[in-house]
Amino acid sequence: MSGRETTGPNRRQILQAATLATASAWAGGPALAQGAGRSAVVFLSRSSNTRMLAGHLARRHDADLFEIRPRAPWPEDYDEMVAWATRWRESDRLLPLDAIPDFSRHDVIFLGFPIWGMSLPAPMRSLLSAVDLSGKTILPFITHGGYGAGSTLNEVRRLAPNAAFAPEFVLQCDQERDNLDAMQGWLDEVKTEIVR
């Protein structure tokens, strides 16, 4: 099923949304934040774009929030980061992660990540290879730099073959800080998947 694409905010709207989201959700917070819900929001974010959406989802659904991070930090420099991501994408090895969440008490998993080099990022591939999501409902939310999700969803489905999938939310990354309304529209569409 094809997801929802959106188009863009102005700079002021981006800064307002980013400031509000960052202040309320990530004021020096830990990598793992526990909520009371049966939903989990698990995400990967290098530039904070996907993090902002994840924080919104976790607050909105009283969900546990898990940030996926590699054990060894990734490069800060963009060009070095691209080379690092390419090496891991082309490798058959799984990237060691800082922590692997336990999803045993969760029924619904919001799975958020950026597209790196037209593919699933290595940390997300490692996570999905390490956990059993059988019987869970996965709601992917994906950010990208202009090329869309590509075949990434096929890889996610391959790595979680016994999970159910709701329609995905796909957003171009230069737009995402001001598109909480677009995400809310998606949540309205998939609410029956969340409230089973």
The verdict on residue 163 lying in a domain is: yes
Other beta carbons within 10 Å of 195: 8
- The reported pLDDT for the residue numbered 174 is 64
In a domain, 3, yes or no: no
**pLDDT computed for residue 16 by the predictor:** 38
Q: Is 11 among the domain residues?
A: no
Q: Is residue 2 part of a domain?
A: no
Q: Which of 163, 85, 75 is nearest to 124 (CA)?
A: 85
CATH of the domain at 60: 3.40.50.360
How many separate domains does the chain show?
Answer: 1
Q: What is the pLDDT of residue 31?
A: 36
Query: Does 9 reside within a domain?
Result: no
Residue 62 is predicted with a pLDDT of 92
Q: Compute the distance between CA of residue 34 and CA of residue 18 in angstroms, rounded to an integer.
A: 22
pLDDT of residue 108: 96
Which pLDDT score, from 0 to 100, does residue 29 have?
A: 32
User: Residue 65 has what pLDDT?
Assistant: 96
CA atoms of 133 and 36, how far apart (whole Å): 19
76 lies in some domain: yes
Cβ-based neighbours of 77, under 8 Å, separated by 6 or more: none
Query: What pLDDT sits at residue 85?
Result: 87
The residues that bridge with 43 in the sheet, in sequence order, are 67, 112
Which domain, by its residues, includes 72? 31-194
pLDDT tens, position by position, for the chain (196 residues)?
445 444 444 443 443 343 333 323 322 333 334 444 599 999 999 888 899 999 999 999 999 999 999 999 888 887 898 898 888 888 878 889 999 999 999 999 999 999 887 889 999 999 999 999 999 999 999 998 888 888 899 999 999 999 999 999 998 876 544 566 778 888 888 887 777 6
How far is residue 171's CA from residue 182's CA, in Å, rounded to a whole number?
9
In a domain, 25, yes or no: no
Within a domain: residue 38? Answer: yes
